[in-house]
Structure 1
């Protein structure tokens, strides 16, 4: 007897189950620093969602995650930005097509991060500082996207998203060297994260407040804050940026004359980077010791 074929509804359920499983695997790869594995899986999975039983919402879920992976990959590896921007635009188109306001807000934020990092990486690849002035016009697109994300997230009551957007807006002002404004946004981001127990969202504000203390020459405070950021990162379980946190602590110890601890953290940064296949990460990062006021 011929086999009974599954109905369209049953196939749709299978797609939902498969999509959720693939998303979870890719997110695990991402969090653990297996960026190439995450990209390979997501790049393979997305074409499968072109069947009529698959939904645009399922596609948006994978596109959003793919964009997050590519944003981090671009900062750490400094590759071609075209795929990153293409995936982010596709994700926004999917969110708009289904009228998903949360998705639209998330894609505004993702596009803001993408344009921020693309601008930063372009400067670093030219051997220039990523910092500029507002008048130069750099980072304006990143700020505009992030402000739109924040407005939507405030309407939606998305506290985690608001914390993320406050931080990302602060990062633009830091790039413009408007440090007091940047610190205000970092404070807002951290306050929301602390009130709601958002471990990941606590980490970046802590790191950049440490960088500001370093810039001002408050080395003891900077070290305390950098160690806090490192601890928060470890607790959040997000490994790709861990080498950067160890390098920040290294720079603090070096400035304080503690070469033993400086070498320890540099060695740990190299080990972590190599475990994740980021073999040139440590050597390619700018030295934050040059940010100290007066140097």
Structure 2
């Protein structure tokens, strides 16, 4: 019997199959809130494929997912940003060198998110809040990346990307307290997602419309938006941000005076956070909310 003769092309196919499977494992872990597991799978995978017969499109796929998880991990845990940015810049470089316009749009959007989250984390670590930061030159890089992404997504008719970029552009304007402009972007993000049938993409815009309603003192609208944010998040199966949704509802019910429901959502947030290793982050948000409440009472 003659031994089988394998070619580099066949090897590349095996790598593609392996990377697809590993990305599915990492993505599922990520959605379940097992962020550390997702990072381990993706980081190990990148080391394993170094120098291998891996198609650039597969390498790009792995880098984009790794960058996505690193970005959310930074928002929730803080920590260094070097790996997050180097991963996303490498993805952008591959997309540009292979003329992968969809990959380039994804990389630009993720770079915008990364700059937004890095700025927010730095502001919170300083003891300040991100709102009202336009005069300080904050979030300008995040906006520039996201606008580039949006322009490219529109040319590609990438509805999911368009919806997400409108949301992140809205976040920058909300932090700059240009609330009408922010509201327009959040509403557009929801409209696009709703028209196409995207579920999870509607969660974050609704949560930030909750903040908009709270700024205006409209507790009824805030409660409606907050409930929708949680329902879309649960329907989309994304657990890492669910504690944030419950904390938002906790805050609203406290303001309304319904302490039973407030306590329920506080407990839900704490339980979910403990399950996902986010207790420190959630506790800091609870303390921050309580501190702001005391300040308002003493004002």
Q: Return the TM-score normalized by structure 2.
A: 0.94
* Secondary structure at 1:287 match in 2: helix
**Higher deviation after alignment, 228-237 or 131-140:** 131-140
Aligned residue for 2:276?
276
Kept in 2: contact 1:251–1:288 (CA 8 A)? no
Within 1, Cα distance between the matches of 2:119 and 2:296? Answer: 25
CA drift at 1:230? 0.6
CA drift at 1:51? 3.1
Kept in 2: contact 1:16–1:54 (CA 8 A)? yes
Aligned residue for 1:167?
167
CA drift at 1:156? 0.5
Aligned residue for 1:287?
289
CA drift at 1:288? 8.6
**Higher deviation after alignment, 40-49 or 166-175:** 40-49
**Number of residue equivalences:** 295
Within 1, Cα distance between the matches of 2:109 and 2:291? Answer: 30
Within 1, Cα distance between the matches of 2:166 and 2:26? Answer: 27
Uncovered stretches (5+) of structure 2, i.e. residues with no partner: none
* Secondary structure at 2:129 match in 1: coil
CA drift at 1:229? 0.8
Within 2, Cα distance between the matches of 1:51 and 1:84? Answer: 21
Within 2, Cα distance between the matches of 1:290 and 1:213? Answer: 17
CA drift at 1:48? 2.3
Within 2, Cα distance between the matches of 1:289 and 1:155? Answer: 46
Within 2, Cα distance between the matches of 1:182 and 1:209? Answer: 9
- Give a deviation string over 1:68-106, Cα, whole Å, max 9, x none: 101111111111111111111111111111110011111
Within 1, Cα distance between the matches of 2:260 and 2:68? Answer: 36
- Give a deviation string over 1:260-287, Cα, whole Å, max 9, x none: 1111101110111111111212111242
**Higher deviation after alignment, 42-51 or 2-11:** 2-11
- Give a deviation string over 1:38-59, Cα, whole Å, max 9, x none: 0001000012222342111111
- Give a deviation string over 1:167-206, Cα, whole Å, max 9, x none: 0000000110111110011111111011111111111111
Taking the TM superposition and a 5 Å limit, the aligned residue runs for 1:40-189 are: 40-189=40-189
Q: Return the TM-score normalized by structure 1.
A: 0.96
Within 2, Cα distance between the matches of 1:289 and 1:242? Answer: 22
Kept in 2: contact 1:193–1:201 (CA 8 A)? yes
CA RMSD for the aligned pairs?
Answer: 1.9
Distance 1:183 1:288, change over 3 A: farther
Taking the TM superposition and a 5 Å limit, the aligned residue runs for 1:204-243 are: 204-243=204-243
